[in-house]
C-alpha cells in the first residue's frame, strides 16, 4: 500500500500535465460506499476511499491542504461521498473510469482582483540579524520582493494566497501559508548542507571533503575576462593547466593541456565536457558557467576510459534557482591594443645595412639622404609598414543579460549576450566594403528544470552561438608575413597620385593592398547545443539515495566562409621623365570585380547516456556511493573532402564507480571505465580502465582535535589507475584497415604529347589489426591543508607513464622500401611533476582580503620513440623531454680570420669574421649535423603559474592577477632577423634591433652576427645564439569596482548596481623585448595578444 501510494503521487505528476489537453468527462459511478472516520486528514480519507472503492486518486500533493482534521461519516455513491469529503478542502473532482482526479476549485475572478499587502522581515534565526537581499515570493507566482537593508519586504498580493517562501543563499528555504495574514516574519535557519562545498566530478558531484581524486576548480568569476574565448583566460588560473595563446586575433582561442604534454601521439588535448557532453570549450559563454573543473589523475578520469588519458575539463552551465525572477544585466566596453609590436629598421638604416652587407655603395649617400628627409616618397619611400597597416587600438563591447528564477514546478536560467570586437587592421574607407577584421558573437542559452513530480526532474538545456567574422580578402597570415617582410623602401603604400603600388609578379605583394584592397571574407559559424535529461529520484520508491538519469543531446555546428577577393591594378615607379612625372611600369593587371568562393564546414553530434547513482549515509558513519553509466556518441562531419571522414565517428562505453567513507575520515574509491573505439579491430575495440584512490582526513581524527585551531583541515590522498587515449591517429581512422592512396602518388607521363597519365595508386596506410589505444598509468599523491581557517593549501605530485603511443615505425631501414611508414603502438613517454594551489582569506575590520596562487611544473621524457641509438648518443631523442629544442652550441662570433683558421671547419657554408662560431661537440674537427645537441627547453613551458588577490572595503573591490611561464625556449627564425636572407631587396625588412645590435668591427661582441647580402647558411641555423628564453611574468588582469550602497537604491527597481573598470595584459616582464613573448619564436609576424582596458556596469533587478 505504501509503495502503491507513492506510485500514485508520481503518476499524478505526469497526469496533471495530460489533463491540460485532454477533455474531461464524468462517468456515473456504480456501487455504494460507506466511509466513517474521526479526526482524519484528507489524505487518510482518500486512502480509505481507495481501499473501499477500488478507485485510484490522482492529485498534486501540493494542492492538498492535509493539515486540517475532519470527522467524516457518510454513505452513498462515490460522488456523494466525495462531495462530503471535499466540502471544505477547496478541491473539486473528475471521475474517469476507475480513476478520480482531484484539482483545486478555480479562484473566482472577483477574488483575484482584490489586492492586499503582506509585509514583514527576514532574519537569521540564530543571530536575529536582518538578512539583506533575501528573496520573498508567493509560490507558483511571479509575485516577489527582495529584503532591504533592514531585512524588510513588502508584497502586493491577491486576496487568496497560498504559500509564501523566503530564501537566501546558505539558508534553508522557509514556507508559510499566507491565508489572510498581512504580516509574516521569516526566521531562516542556516543550511549546513547548502554551505557544504560540492565539487563537480566525472558524471556527478561529490562533497568537497570526500574528493580524493586530483581535481582543480576555479571560481568562475575569475574566467570572466573581457575576451572572446574562454580558452584565452585559462592560463595561470588552475593548478595543472598549461595554456598557450599564440595569437590575439579576434575570435581565436588558445591551446591548452592538463599537466603538460604526456604523449607525442596525435592527440594531446584534454577531453572537454560541457554539461556532460563533449563540446568545444570556446562555445560556452563565460557568463553561463556555473562550475569549471579539471580532472587530472586516474581516479578522476578513469570513468572516461579510452578518452580520458589527457585529462578532462568539466563545465556545467548555470541553472535556475527558486525565487522570483532575478535579472542580471552586464554591459562592458573596452579598448584593445597590441601588447607589443616589433619595430623595423627604416629606409636609411636599411640602405646602410645593405651597403655594409654587400660591401658596396649600392645605395649612394644621395639616395640615403632622400630616404631620410622624405622629399620624394614616391621614388624614395620610407614606409613603416606596421604603422601603415595596423592601428594602435580597437574597441570591444559586450552586453550580457540573464534571468533566472523558479518555483516548485520549474526553474529557469535564460541568458543572452552580444559581443563585438574590432581589430587593429586598418581599412580603406573609400571602399564600399570593410576589409578589417570584425568579430561578432551572439550567445543564447535557456536552461530549464521541470519538476514533473516531487522526485522527477526534466532538464532541458538549449544554447545557440552565432558568430560572424569579417576579414580582409587576402589571408591574414599573408598580411602579417608581408607587412613584416616588405622593405621600407620597396615602394610606397600607395603612390601620391592614387595609383596602387606593387612589386613584380612572383616577387611578393604589397601588404597595404593585401589588407585594404583585396576584398573581404565573411565567415559565419552557427552552433546549436541541445540537451534533454530526465532524473528520477527513487529514494522514496525503491531505496533512499537511488537515482536514475537519462540524457540525450543533439548538437550541430556549421561554418561558412565566403571569400570575395581581388587584386587591384598595380604599378611600380621606375623613374621620372624630363617633366618630373613618374614613369610607371604596370606590375599587375588586377581584376575589375570581386571574386567569389564559398567553403563550408560542419558537424552534427548525438549523445545518449543512461545512469544510475546511489548515495546514502548509514548509521551516520558509513557513506556509500555508486555509479553505473552507459553512453554512446555519434558524430558526423557534414562537409568533408573525402568519403572516409564523412563516415560517422562513434564512441561507446560503460562507466562505474563505488565510493565508501567511514566517519568522514577514511575514504576509498574505485572507478572503472569500460569503453570502445571504432578505430580498432572488431574484437579489440573495448578496454577496461580501472583506477582506485585512498584518502585520509587526518583532521577528523580524535587525536587531531587539539590542534584544529591551527590546522583545521588536513587530508592526504593517493590514487593510481590506467586511462586510455583512442584518438591516436590524428586524422587516421579505422586503423585496422589499409587505405588506398590515389591522390598525391607521383605518376609518370607517357605518350607522344605526354598526355597518357592514368594516375597512380598504391597502399596508403598499412592495415594494423593489432592496434590499440595509448595507455596512461597515472599516480597521484596529494595533500590538502587549511591553516587558521584562512589559508588553504593543496598540492599534488604526479607521475604518468604513457605506453602504446601510436607512431610511425622509426626503426625500419630504408631498404624495406615502404612508401608509407607503418604506424604501431610502440611509443613510451613519461611525464611527472607537481601542481599546487594556495588560497587565503582574511577579514580585518571592514576589509576583506583574499589571495590565491597556483603553480604547475611538469617535466616529460621520451622513453621510446622506436629509434635505434644515434651514432652520437647525445643526439638521441629518447631520454629528452618532448619538444626539446636541438641546435648547435654557439661559442660567440668569430673575431679574426686567424680564429677561423684555428677553429674546426664549419660545414654549413663559408665563414667570415663576424659569423657565428660553433662548438665541435664530438671533437672530430668538423662542425656539422653531428654537433647538434639538446639546447634550452621545449616551446611548451615547463612551469606555469599564476597569483592574485582581492581587496574589498565597503562598496569598493579591487582585484589583481599575475600569470607567468618559465623554462621555455624558442628560436628566432625569420628573414627580418636574418637580414637579406631571400636575396631580394623588396622583401628584406629587418628588425630595428638587428640594425642596432649587429656585428660590425666597432661592435665585436654583438647580439647578432654580421649581415650578409644573401642567405648565410652558417649563421641562419638553430643554435644557442638564435635561441631566446621565453619566460615571462605578466600583470594579466586588474579590476576595480564600486557597488552602490543598498540605501541609494531603496525605492527603485534596482537590487544591486556595480560599476567597474578592468585591464588585461597590463604589463609584461620578460628578458625578451622584441615582441610579446607569448607569441613564441619566429619573427613575431602574427596578431599579437591584446592589452585591454574595460569599463562595465552590472545591474541586478
Partner 1 sequence: MKFINYIALICSVFMISSCDSFLDKQEDEALTFEKIWSKRSTVEKYLNNVWGFMPEESNWVDENPWIGASDEASVTYNRGYRYMNFGTWSPSNVPYDRWSKFYSGIREANVFMQNIDATTAEDISEQERIQWKAEARYARAYYYFLLLRSYGPIMLVGDEPIDFNQDVATLSYMRNTYQECADYITKEMTECAAVLPLEQDAIYWGKPTKGAALSMIARLKLYSARPLFNGCELYAGIANPDGTKLFPTYDKNRWKEAAEANKRVIDLGIYELYEDESGNPIKSYLGVGLKTWNKEIIMARWTGGYYNRVHCTPRVVGGAAFGGIGPTQQQVDAYAMANGRYPIKGYRNDGTPIIDETSGYKEDGFSNFEHPYDQLKDGHKQKSTFNMYVGREPRFYATVLWSGADWPYMAGGKVPVFAFNGNSGPGVSHDYPKSGYICRRFIDGSLNSNGGQWGNLTFPIFRLAEIYLNYVEALNEFDPTNTDILLYLNKIRSRAGVPNIEEVYPEAVNNQSLMRELIRKERRIELAFETHRYFDTRTWMIAEQTDNGPMFGMNTMAPVANANTTPAAFWQRAEFEVRVFEPKHYLYPFSQRELDRNKQLTQNFGW
- Our CB check for partner 1 shows the closer of 23 and 754 to be 754
Q: Does 746 bind partner 1 (CB under 8 A)?
A: yes
Other CB atoms within 10 A of residue 1051 CB: 8
CA distance 855 to 664: 29
- With beta carbons less than 8 A apart as the criterion, state whether 385 and 344 touch: yes
- Our CB check for partner 1 shows the closer of 169 and 818 to be 818
What is the nearest approach in angstroms of partner 1 to the Cβ of residue 928? Answer: 5
DSSP SS3 for 473: coil
Q: Does 897 bind partner 1 (CB under 8 A)?
A: no
What is the nearest approach in angstroms of partner 1 to the Cβ of residue 12? Answer: 14
From the list 175, 678, 864, 992, which residue makes contact with partner 1 (rule: CB under 8 A)?
Answer: 678
- Our CB check for partner 1 shows the closer of 462 and 738 to be 738
C-alpha cell at 530: 541541445
CA distance 40 to 23: 33
CA distance 50 to 30: 14
- With beta carbons less than 8 A apart as the criterion, state whether 255 and 280 touch: no
What is the nearest approach in angstroms of partner 1 to the Cβ of residue 379? Answer: 16
Candidates 409-417, 651-659, 795-803, 945-953 — which segment interacts with partner 1 by CB under 8 A? 651-659
- With beta carbons less than 8 A apart as the criterion, state whether 825 and 679 touch: no
From the list 103, 632, 635, 801, which residue makes contact with partner 1 (rule: CB under 8 A)?
Answer: 632
Binders of partner 1 among 572-611, rule CB under 8 A? Answer: 610
Look up cell 662560431; give the residue.
Answer: 917
Q: Does 734 bind partner 1 (CB under 8 A)?
A: yes
- Our CB check for partner 1 shows the closer of 106 and 683 to be 683
- With beta carbons less than 8 A apart as the criterion, state whether 357 and 1012 touch: yes
CA distance 665 to 711: 15
C-alpha cell at 920: 665541435
Q: Does 355 bind partner 1 (CB under 8 A)?
A: no
From the list 84, 612, 781, 849, which residue makes contact with partner 1 (rule: CB under 8 A)?
Answer: 612
Q: Does 207 bind partner 1 (CB under 8 A)?
A: no
Q: Does 845 bind partner 1 (CB under 8 A)?
A: no
Phi-psi region of 931 (alpha: psi -120 to 50; beta: other; left: phi over 0): alpha
- With beta carbons less than 8 A apart as the criterion, state whether 828 and 837 touch: no
- Our CB check for partner 1 shows the closer of 973 and 996 to be 973
DSSP SS3 for 541: coil
Question: Which secondary-structure segment (H or E) carries 3?
Answer: helix 2-21
- Our CB check for partner 1 shows the closer of 390 and 823 to be 823
CA distance 216 to 235: 14
- With beta carbons less than 8 A apart as the criterion, state whether 1059 and 332 touch: no
Binders of partner 1 among 278-317, rule CB under 8 A? Answer: none
What is the nearest approach in angstroms of partner 1 to the Cβ of residue 229? Answer: 33
- Our CB check for partner 1 shows the closer of 651 and 727 to be 651
CA distance 447 to 451: 13
Q: Does 742 bind partner 1 (CB under 8 A)?
A: yes
Q: Does 682 bind partner 1 (CB under 8 A)?
A: yes
What is the nearest approach in angstroms of partner 1 to the Cβ of residue 976? Answer: 17
Closest CA to 920 of 908, 932, 912: 932
CA distance 214 to 716: 11
What is the nearest approach in angstroms of partner 1 to the Cβ of residue 376? Answer: 20
Closest CA to 979 of 927, 1023, 1026: 1026
What is the nearest approach in angstroms of partner 1 to the Cβ of residue 575? Answer: 12
Binders of partner 1 among 1024-1083, rule CB under 8 A? Answer: none
Q: Does 644 bind partner 1 (CB under 8 A)?
A: yes
- Please enumerate in sequence order all residues whose Cβ is within 8 A of that of 552, keeping only pairs 6 or more positions apart, or say none: 531, 532, 533, 606, 607, 608, 609
Binders of partner 1 among 652-671, rule CB under 8 A? Answer: 652, 654
Binders of partner 1 among 763-792, rule CB under 8 A? Answer: 763
- With beta carbons less than 8 A apart as the criterion, state whether 869 and 876 touch: yes
Cα–Cα distances in angstroms (integers) from residue 992 to residues 329, 354, 492, in the given order:
47, 14, 19
- Our CB check for partner 1 shows the closer of 750 and 788 to be 750
- Our CB check for partner 1 shows the closer of 1006 and 1015 to be 1015
Candidates 423-431, 935-943, 978-986, 1027-1035 — which segment interacts with partner 1 by CB under 8 A? 978-986
From the list 125, 450, 982, 996, which residue makes contact with partner 1 (rule: CB under 8 A)?
Answer: 982
Cα–Cα distances in angstroms (integers) from residue 644 to residues 278, 638, 740, 943, in the given order:
22, 12, 11, 40
- Our CB check for partner 1 shows the closer of 707 and 745 to be 745
Binders of partner 1 among 908-937, rule CB under 8 A? Answer: 908-910, 926, 928-930
The angle at the Cα of 311, spanning 306 to 316, to the nearest 5 degrees, equals: 105
Torsion of CA 998, 1001, 1005, 1006, to 10 degrees: 0
Q: Does 869 bind partner 1 (CB under 8 A)?
A: yes
Candidates 123-131, 213-221, 648-656, 1085-1093 — which segment interacts with partner 1 by CB under 8 A? 648-656
CA distance 266 to 268: 6
From the list 160, 808, 859, 1017, which residue makes contact with partner 1 (rule: CB under 8 A)?
Answer: 1017
Other CB atoms within 10 A of residue 734 CB: 16
Candidates 49-57, 593-601, 761-769, 831-839 — which segment interacts with partner 1 by CB under 8 A? 761-769
From the list 650, 801, 877, 912, which residue makes contact with partner 1 (rule: CB under 8 A)?
Answer: 650
From the list 811, 844, 873, 1005, which residue makes contact with partner 1 (rule: CB under 8 A)?
Answer: 811
At residue 225, φ and ψ (nearest 5 deg) are -95, 145
Binders of partner 1 among 501-560, rule CB under 8 A? Answer: 504-506, 536, 538, 541-542, 548, 550
Look up cell 593543496; give the residue.
Answer: 794
- Our CB check for partner 1 shows the closer of 928 and 939 to be 928
Strand segments, DSSP code E, in 436-503 are 438-453, 456-472
Q: Does 871 bind partner 1 (CB under 8 A)?
A: yes
CA distance 141 to 131: 23
Binders of partner 1 among 20-49, rule CB under 8 A? Answer: none
CA distance 732 to 734: 7
What is the nearest approach in angstroms of partner 1 to the Cβ of residue 909? Answer: 7
Binders of partner 1 among 358-377, rule CB under 8 A? Answer: 358, 360, 362
**Total number of residues binding partner 1 (CB under 8 A)?**
89
Candidates 228-236, 795-803, 805-813, 1066-1074 — which segment interacts with partner 1 by CB under 8 A? 805-813
What is the total residue count of the chain? 1101
Candidates 232-240, 245-253, 316-324, 753-761 — which segment interacts with partner 1 by CB under 8 A? 753-761
From the list 580, 706, 758, 923, which residue makes contact with partner 1 (rule: CB under 8 A)?
Answer: 758
- Our CB check for partner 1 shows the closer of 7 and 54 to be 7
Candidates 300-308, 682-690, 1028-1036, 1047-1055 — which segment interacts with partner 1 by CB under 8 A? 682-690
Q: Does 844 bind partner 1 (CB under 8 A)?
A: no
At residue 410, φ and ψ (nearest 5 deg) are -140, 150
Look up cell 543533439; give the residue.
Answer: 554
From the list 907, 939, 952, 1100, which residue makes contact with partner 1 (rule: CB under 8 A)?
Answer: 907
- Our CB check for partner 1 shows the closer of 10 and 696 to be 10
Q: Does 949 bind partner 1 (CB under 8 A)?
A: no
What is the nearest approach in angstroms of partner 1 to the Cβ of residue 477? Answer: 23
CA distance 209 to 66: 39
Q: Report long-range pairs for 414-417 (Cβ below 8 Å, ≥24 apart).
A: 414/445, 414/446, 414/447, 415/285, 415/287, 415/288, 415/318, 415/443, 415/444, 415/445, 415/446, 416/442, 416/443, 416/444, 416/445, 417/285, 417/287, 417/441, 417/442, 417/443
Candidates 393-401, 563-571, 757-765, 955-963 — which segment interacts with partner 1 by CB under 8 A? 757-765
Amino acid at each position: 500500500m505504501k509503495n502503491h501510494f507513492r506510485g500514485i503521487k508520481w503518476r499524478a505528476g505526469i497526469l496533471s500535465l495530460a489533463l491540460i489537453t485532454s477533455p474531461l468527462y464524468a462517468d456515473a459511478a456504480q456501487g455504494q460506499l460507506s466511509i466513517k472516520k474521526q479526526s482524519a486528514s484528507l489524505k487518510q480519507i482518500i486512502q480509505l476511499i481507495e481501499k473501499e472503492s477500488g478507485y485510484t486518486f490522482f492529485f498534486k500533493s501540493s494542492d492538498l491542504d492535509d493539515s486540517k482534521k475532519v470527522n467524516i461519516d457518510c454513505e452513498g455513491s462515490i460522488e456523494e461521498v466525495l462531495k462530503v469529503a471535499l466540502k471544505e478542502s477547496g478541491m473539486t473532482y473528475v471521475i474517469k473510469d476507475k480513476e478520480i482526479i482531484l484539482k483545486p476549485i478555480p479562484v473566482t475572478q472577483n477574488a483575484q482582483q482584490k489586492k492586499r499587502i503582506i509585509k514583514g522581515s527576514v532574519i537569521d534565526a540564530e543571530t536575529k540579524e536582518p538578512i539583506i537581499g533575501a528573496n520573498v515570493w508567493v509560490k507558483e507566482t511571479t509575485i516577489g520582493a527582495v529584503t532591504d537593508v533592514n531585512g524588510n519586504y513588502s508584497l502586493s498580493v491577491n486576496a487568496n494566497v497560498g504559500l509564501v517562501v523566503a530564501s537566501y543563499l546558505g539558508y534553508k528555504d522557509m514556507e508559510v501559508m499566507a491565508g489572510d495574514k498581512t504580516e509574516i516574519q521569516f526566521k531562516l535557519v542556516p543550511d549546513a548542507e547548502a554551505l557544504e562545498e560540492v565539487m563537480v566530478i566525472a558524471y556527478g558531484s561529490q562533497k568537497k571533503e570526500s574528493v580524493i581524486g586530483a581535481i582543480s576548480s576555479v571560481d568562475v568569476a575569475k574566467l570572466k575576462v573581457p575576451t572572446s574565448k574562454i580558452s584565452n583566460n585559462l592560463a595561470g588560473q588552475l593548478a595543472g593547466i598549461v595554456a598557450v595563446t599564440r595569437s590575439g586575433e579576434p575570435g581565436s582561442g588558445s591551446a591548452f593541456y592538463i599537466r603538460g604534454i604526456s604523449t607525442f601521439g596525435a592527440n594531446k588535448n584534454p577531453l572537454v565536457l560541457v554539461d556532460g557532453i563533449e563540446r568545444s570549450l570556446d562555445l560556452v559563454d563565460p557568463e553561463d558557467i556555473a562550475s569549471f573543473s579539471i580532472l587530472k589523475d586516474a581516479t578522476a578520469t578513469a570513468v572516461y576510459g579510452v578518452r580520458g588519458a589527457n585529462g578532462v575539463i568539466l563545465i556545467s552551465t548555470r541553472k535556475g534557482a527558486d525565487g522570483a525572477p532575478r535579472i542580471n544585466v552586464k554591459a562592458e566596453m573596452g579598448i584593445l591594443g597590441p601588447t607589443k609590436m616589433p619595430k623595423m629598421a627604416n629606409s636609411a638604416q636599411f640602405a646602410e645595412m645593405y651597403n655594409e652587407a654587400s660591401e658596396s655603395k649600392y645605395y649612394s649617400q644621395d639616395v640615403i639622404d632622400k630616404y631620410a628627409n622624405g622629399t620624394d616618397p614616391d621614388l624614395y619611400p620610407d614606409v613603416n609598414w606596421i604603422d601603415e597597416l595596423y592601428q594602435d587600438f580597437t574597441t570591444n563591447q559586450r552586453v550580457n543579460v540573464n534571468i533566472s528564477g523558479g518555483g516548485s514546478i520549474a526553474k529557469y536560467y535564460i541568458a543572452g549576450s552580444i559581443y563585438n570586437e574590432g581589430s587593429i587592421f586598418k581599412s580603406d574607407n573609400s571602399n564600399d566594403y570593410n576589409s578589417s577584421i570584425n568579430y561578432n558573437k551572439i550567445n543564447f542559452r535557456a536552461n530549464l528544470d521541470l519538476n514533473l513530480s516531487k522526485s522527477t526532474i526534466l532538464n532541458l538545456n538549449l544554447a545557440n552561438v552565432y558568430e560572424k567574422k569579417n576579414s580582409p580578402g587576402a589571408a591574414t597570415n599573408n598580411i602579417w608575413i608581408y607587412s613584416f617582410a616588405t622593405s621600407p623602401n620597396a615602394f610606397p603604400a600607395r603612390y601620391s597620385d592614387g595609383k596602387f603600388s606593387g612589386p613584380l609578379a612572383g616577387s611578393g605583394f604589397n601588404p597595404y593592398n593585401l589588407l585594404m584592397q583585396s576584398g573581404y571574407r565573411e565567415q559565419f559559424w552557427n552552433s546549436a547545443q541541445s540537451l534533454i535529461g530526465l532524473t528520477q529520484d527513487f529514494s522514496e520508491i525503491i531505496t533512499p539515495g537511488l537515482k536514475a538519469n537519462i540524457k540525450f543531446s543533439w548538437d550541430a555546428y556549421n561554418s561558412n566562409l565566403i571569400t570575395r577577393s581581388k587584386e587591384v591594378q598595380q604599378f611600380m615607379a621606375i623613374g621620372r621623365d624630363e617633366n618630373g612625372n613618374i614613369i610607371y611600369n604596370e606590375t599587375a593587371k588586377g581584376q575589375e570585380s570581386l571574386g567569389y568562393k564559398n567553403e563550408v564546414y560542419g558537424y552534427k553530434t548525438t549523445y545518449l547516456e543512461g545512469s544510475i547513482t546511489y548515495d546514502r549515509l548509514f548509521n551516520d558513519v558509513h557513506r556509500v556511493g555508486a555509479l553505473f553509466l552507459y553512453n554512446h556518441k555519434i558524430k558526423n562531419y557534414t562537409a568533408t573532402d573525402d568519403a572516409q571522414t564523412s563516415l560517422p565517428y562513434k564512441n561507446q562505453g560503460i562507466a562505474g564507480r563505488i565510493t565508501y567513507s567511514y566517519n568522514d575520515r577514511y575514504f576509498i574509491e574505485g572507478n572503472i571505465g569500460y569503453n570502445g573505439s571504432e578505430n580498432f579491430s572488431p574484437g579489440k575495440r573495448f578496454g577496461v580502465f580501472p583506477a582506485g584512490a585512498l584518502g585520509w582526513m587526518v583532521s577528523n581524527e580524535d587525536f587531531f582535535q587539539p590542534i584544529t585551531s591551527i590546522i583545521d583541515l588536513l587530508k592526504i590522498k593517493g590514487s593510481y589507475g590506467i586511462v586510455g587515449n583512442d584518438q591516436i591517429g590524428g586524422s587516421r581512422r579505422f586503423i585496422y584497415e589499409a587505405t588506398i592512396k590515389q591522390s598525391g602518388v607521383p605518376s609518370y607521363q607517357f605518350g607522344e604529347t605526354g598526355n597518357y597519365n592514368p594516375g597512380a595508386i598504391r597502399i596508403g596506410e598499412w592495415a594494423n589489426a593489432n592496434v590499440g589505444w595509448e595507455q596512461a598509468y597515472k599516480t597521484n599523491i596529494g595533500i590538502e591543508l587549511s591553516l587558521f581557517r584562512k589559508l588553504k593549501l593543496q598540492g599534488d605530485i604526479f607521475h604518468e607513464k604513457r605506453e602504446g603511443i601510436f607512431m610511425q615505425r622509426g626503426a625500419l631501414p630504408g631498404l624495406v622500401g615502404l612508401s608509407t611508414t607503418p604506424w604501431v603502438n610502440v611509443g613510451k613517454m613519461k611525464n611527472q611533476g607537481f601542481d599546487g594551489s594556495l588560497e587565503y582569506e582574511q577579514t580585518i575590520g571592514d576589509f576583506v582580503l583574499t589571495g590565491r596562487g597556483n603553480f604547475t611544473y611538469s617535466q616529460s621524457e621520451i622513453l621510446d620513440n622506436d629509434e635505434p641509438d644515434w651514432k652520437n648518443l647525445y643526439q638521441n631523442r629518447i631520454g629528452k623531454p618532448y619538444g626539446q629544442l636541438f641546435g648547435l652550441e654557439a661559442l660567440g662570433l668569430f673575431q679574426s680570420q686567424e680564429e677561423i683558421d684555428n677553429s674546426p671547419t664549419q660545414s654549413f657554408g663559408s665563414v667570415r669574421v663576424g659569423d657565428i662560431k660553433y662548438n665541435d661537440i664530438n671533437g672530430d674537427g668538423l662542425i656539422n649535423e653531428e654537433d647538434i645537441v639538446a639546447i634550452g627547453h621545449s616551446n611548451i613551458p615547463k612551469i606555469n603559474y599564476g597569483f592574485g588577490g582581492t581587496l574589498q572595503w565597503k562598496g569598493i573591490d579591487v582585484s589583481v592577477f599575475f600569470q607567468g611561464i618559465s623554462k621555455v625556449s624558442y628560436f628566432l627564425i625569420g628573414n627580418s632577423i636574418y637580414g637579406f636572407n631571400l636575396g631580394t631587396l623588396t622583401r628584406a625588412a629587418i628588425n630595428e634591433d638587428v640594425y642596432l645590435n649587429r656585428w660590425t668591427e666597432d661592435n665585436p661582441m654583438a647580439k647578432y652576427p654580421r649581415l650578409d647580402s644573401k642567405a648565410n647558411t652558417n649563421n641562419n641555423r638553430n643554435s644557442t645564439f638564435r635561441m631566446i628564453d621565453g619566460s615571462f611574468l605578466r600583470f594579466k588582469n586588474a579590476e576595480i569596482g564600486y557597488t552602490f550602497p543598498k540605501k541609494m537604491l531603496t525605492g527603485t527597481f534596482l537590487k544591486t548596481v556595480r560599476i567597474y573598470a578592468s585591464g588585461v595584459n597590463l604589463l609584461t616582464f620578460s628578458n625578451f623585448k622584441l615582441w610579446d613573448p607569448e607569441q613564441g619564436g619566429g619573427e613575431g609576424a602574427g596578431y599579437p595578444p591584446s592589452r585591454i582596458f574595460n569599463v562595465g556596469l552590472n545591474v541586478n533587478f
